[in-house]
Structure 1
């Protein structure tokens, strides 16, 4: 409902929901924490010292997760599912660290996680005026280039020491604000402790995004520098106590992406185009992957991490799809937009940004399939293809001045890109072939056999033959060869006979053309329109607003609290003894070996998992759950099924964060998978903080 008169019911909805964030809603940036709102809700709010200490203790992991320092020697608390990729990469036939877990007896035996980097925010600076000046009155592709060029310059100037720092300009409110985030980075991150997979993911996919839960989804990493553990005198106090119902809790982490500020036209695109296609692709690929994994125990191990990611993504996207097809939920969102439009009607400075976005979305519908299948090509499903795409693109971009490069290839981004390209990571030919052939078959199906791009890329080969040729002849599995191509630049790429490199050398011009079209027809007009939408929101509701999530550090506040599901109360906590009651002896409710062996020694009434009203989204995985005194009492690892709609809006009566308690983790460290040195470090750190 856009631009039409509101009836009585819609007006009531607008009054109820369109105001600034209600208590407990919001993922707040650290330079705009709503302390007065927190004090009004709970009679207390954190002071600046509390916030500064918490910010300096919070960690962003480049795999897409959050974490926190919990000892003075660089020890990092996060989720097990945030380290599965690391464990998979370090595993081998006969040594499955995912299934069996990992427990370093001492620091000398902690193992480096390929591709991982830990980052801590050190400063946040508003650069909105600077970028706005660079954009000026430009439109189309020129706007995008001017914006990106100024961002590259600001990032380079802000972090001249790229060995230890990383700078990132973040777009907030769709272009209404720009902030320069500076990070202290640690490129040597090692695994210290992780439980068995069956304990971390007990209940499997049926329990995923549900509650009650009985999951030990926790792990410990450690940051190193110059071969030694990093000194982190500022860290969270380890507090292995049970949460208390009703107590205030803070979740501090890096929520990945929300779309709460989308217009009705943009939400329609999500509902009718992007989400249905994504769900179909994930579902079919999952089926093909499962079929291949059933061929042998080794394939089951090698494909496990990919399967886990696919199943988690599918459930998350399906929850978003259901939310956008819920009449009550979508009526609330429509009422919010209608209320905002009514409040700023006639404001000439704001104009009608909604109509401009409508036109941009219409153009995006026409190019969506090309962008989906040709922008990244088989890199959607193949690690080797991802390497090839990055190497081909980087070789061309690095020859340009920093300010003229595409995002992701500027000086500030290159160190992490190089690390992830050249770290040692195992690849599996069968899995690579499966990914490439699946992409080729789906691209041909959706774009059409007569599509000029598919004719050029496939020729007369079948998807399976193409995949076999690209993977069988590859050299990219060797990190030394990837490093050679990276250092050799455009000349090395041109001379390479690797079939995957040659494939992406052919695809890259088309991929660039698609991006240029997207910049001109969607990104530029939407950026300009959303900047005015931000002005509209500030004019209508004041500046006590939070921006959409951007995988940057945020704080949410809430309380330990259950909810009512179909008329029945859902308690806020489970206890460890409930694991044995839920167990059936069959997957996914089969007990981990550690639980079987330690049954007589576990304190069965220890609080295991718990829920809070904190507002989170994907990317918050591993975020510490922090008590009023600044101590960590849990780590967030999931949301309930209702929280999946949190991508588009928050409902405090239903949305819940799911966390594993530090009390349960302490039981794991002391009794189930004993790690006496780690346990002693945590206890000592809680005294020295």
Structure 2
């Protein structure tokens, strides 16, 4: 739901307390003036320029945005090797798995460059620079503009700014709004399109604990994988080609095996996706009473059906592994967020802030004239949105939770072209190529029987729960003719649709005809749902959302004016952020204490060969029994698996590097804790934690478990005052004065 999960906000809520060092997703270009002294006091040894610089190598040059912001990765070798989470590369691992070579089950480790596997569709982007362009955009905006007029001006100016920033380069750029549309920043990237899988542990390590342990502490998961970026011979981005070479990055992170202790400084840099920390009480109420329960209901049914088919067929289990994981992750997230919003009394905290804001506004007539309508606009908007929220949620979760209807949606634009008297050949061919591209991956990981049962259950939920006046006539007609058993409804759709057979679709694309699409129930049904949504839901909600947008922009501007001495950070929006804090334990509730780390002993305590979430590989058991941990053991002889920090992260930070005060990698962030699942809406000072895979466990698995020590020789591994494993590798301090090629074009501009 746009209003619940996509708002660009502020933070800190204006509470009259000092800023906690661990709270905040900060733009790294402002570290010097906002946070540097706090970070130094906590243990940071680097200068601001060593963290973020445009003209010299800095930590930012080792931080990678995967797939436009789905996850984060970090460069850990001079030949472009990346570390990220196992769940971030899960789709790639699944994509390359077969029944004969099941890398999900067995793991994968390339012996050399030539054995590394293609990661279809994955991209890796480096941030070249960020720039405040607020003045350029705001000077063209007027208070009298409607939200549509305002959006149009912002879009036009953003396109001009992006073009100016990238013209004559191979860069790509985006302009994003911050603080509810009060500020705007340009982000310039260099994006590489040839990414390959280097290594991944089996799921029994990389996903140990499965959905049961997801979002939970204590955790014992080796959630990591290795990728590599390839470039052309000149080091520039290129499509996949066997002639491409490993990228020579501007900087890569050294890996520290000193370990961590309670209170140690910890910094995370990455690409957090979305937070809603300025969401008002009315928005939170809508989320937990209507939107999220609906998502949980629909996703729960979808998961049940998929699991039944996956358990019955190994091929289906591989095909649907990544899909299942994606649906499952946010299924549990919505459950947890709803529960913790209630437990942590978030709505009451929001209401108190709103009362404080309104009191401040009412004290002066000028303020009341400027900000007096802010909360009224927001609250009225959410009230009006109540009528449409369930149809909107069900449209995305139930209708297009059906894969065959989703493929029908991809074909819908072709229908309009074919119905023209003289279809434009270029336009038609572009649509054909688009569908072919979608179909390639679609049918590789598609099972008709699974999707048919999923479709039956989801359409049944939609039909029973959504007002019939909002449902498409064509859908009601099918149900009337083929129902009331929705398995009969689904059987009709699949039997009559060419989309259930890849060969039929290929034949159609070779000789596309409008009447073929008109007779296809999956294409017609997808089009009918889409038309109904656009005409009767989206058209109405866009007006409502405009009202909420205006209210939010005023509310956020007013909050910042109300607290002029407070340091504010913008809400997450898939742009590079830095968060800092400490390695720390916590008390989740009365009389319960959680230590800040877990060990391999905990893996063995959870071991259950009858539960696929808690299977432990025999080789790992043997290493544990022999205590064969090598140099990766802690001082007490144990092998630490995961640890906790109080850093502020969210989705998109998965795979982010956890860095010590010297700029060395100490772990890979992969999750948050259950008790603070409300944290995307309200930061929980005392209990919010980041769960991290200890770099020593990661290296232990690569070295001792997988026997892939050749990969370690590509890394810079450091311990205390000892020489690094690759002593010729420069530190940030040694290279900071030397401009690097990736930024040369920008520096000259």
TM range (shorter): 0.7 to 0.9
Q: Does the alignment pair 1:547 with 2:554?
A: no
Change (3 A) 1:116 1:658: same
Cα distance between partner residues in 1 of 2:224 and 2:401: 28
Structure 1 residues 438 and 597: alpha-carbon distance in aligned structure 2, compared to 1, 3 A threshold: same
The Cα shift of 1:142 comes to 4.1
The equivalent residue for 2:605 is 581
Q: Which moved more, 1:184-193 or 1:120-129?
A: 120-129
Aligned residues of 2:13 and 2:278 also touching (Cα < 8 A): no
Instruction: Note if 1:214 corresponds to 2:220.
Output: yes
Pairing 1:595–2:620 present? yes
1:516 deviates by 4.7
Matches for 1:268-667 after TM superposition, within 5 Å: 268-326=285-343, 328-345=345-362, 346=364, 347=367, 348-374=369-395, 378-382=399-403, 385-390=405-410, 392=412, 421=438, 424=441, 426-428=444-446, 429-449=448-468, 451-453=470-472, 455-456=474-475, 459=478, 460-462=481-483, 463-465=486-488, 467-468=490-491, 473-474=497-498, 500-513=522-535, 516-517=538-539, 520-542=542-564, 544-565=567-588, 566-587=590-611, 588-599=613-624, 600=626, 602-603=628-629, 605-667=638-700
> Cα deviations across residues 558-613 of structure 1 (Å, max 9, x unaligned)?
10111123323211112223322332433233212441353436326122110011
What's the counterpart of residue 713 of structure 2?
680
- Deviation sequence 1:474-527 (CA, Å, 0-9, x none): 459869979x97x99xx9989867764454444443343357525642332222
Q: Is the 8 A contact 1:375 1:515 kept in 2?
A: no
Q: Aligned runs of 1:171-186 on 2, under 5 Å?
A: 171-186=177-192
Q: Distance in 1 between matches of 2:47 and 2:322?
A: 41
Pairwise CA distance, 1:157:
4.6
Q: Secondary structure at the match of 2:30?
A: coil
Q: Which moved more, 1:607-616 or 1:521-530?
A: 521-530
1:61 aligns with 2:87: no
Q: Which region of structure 1 is more displaced relative to structure 2, 623-632 or 341-350? A: 341-350
Q: Contact 1:343 / 1:540 at 8 angstroms: preserved in 2?
A: yes
CA distance in 1, matches of 2:210, 2:25: 28
Corresponding residue for 2:114? 108
**Within 5 Å, which residues of 2 pair with 1:142-157?**
142-157=149-164
The C-alpha deviation readout for 1:613-659, integer Å capped at 9, x for no partner, is 11111221111101111111100111111231111112232111111
Contact persistence 1:18–1:336 (CA under 8 A): no
> Residue 177 and residue 79 in structure 1: after superposition, are their counterparts in 2 closer, same or farther (change >3 A)?
same
Q: Structure 2 regions of 5+ residues with no counterpart?
A: 1-11, 53-57, 233-243, 418-430, 630-636, 717-724, 731-749
- In 1, Cα distance between equivalents of 2:79 and 2:500: 36
Shift of the 427–153 alpha-carbon distance from structure 1 to 2, 3 Å rule, reads: farther
Q: CA deviation at 1:185?
A: 0.8
- 1:442, distance to aligned residue in structure 2 (A): 2.2
* Partner in structure 1 of residue 265 of structure 2: 248
- The residue number in structure 1 matching 2:5 is none
Query: Normalised by the size of structure 1, how large is the TM-score?
Result: 0.86
Answer yes or no: is the 8 Å Cα contact 1:637–1:660 preserved in 2: yes
Q: Deviation digits for residues 368-393 of structure 1, max 9, x if unmatched?
A: 123223368733352x5445535646
Where 1:436 maps in the other structure, the secondary structure is helix
Give the CA deviation at 1:352. 2.3
Q: Structure 2 vs 1, CA of residues 159 and 233 (structure 1 numbering), >3 Å: closer, same or farther?
A: closer
TM superposition shift of 1:181: 1.6
1:134 and 1:230, CA in 2 relative to 1: closer, same or farther beyond 3 A? Answer: same
| Whole-angstrom distance in 2 between the partners of 1:183 and 1:685 | 29
Alpha carbons of structure 1 residues 451 and 525: separation in structure 2 relative to 1, 3 Å:
closer
1:432-461 deviation per Cα after TM superposition (whole angstroms, max 9, x unaligned): 334433432222122245644154476334
For residue 633 of structure 2, what is the aligned residue in structure 1?
none
Taking the aligned partners of 1:344 and 1:299, their CA distance within structure 2 comes to 59
After TM superposition, the score normalised by the length of structure 2 is 0.79
Moved more, 257-266 or 328-337: 328-337
2:273–2:572 contact (8 Å) kept in structure 1: yes
Secondary structure of the structure 1 residue equivalent to 2:29: coil
Specify the SS of the correspondent of 1:80: coil
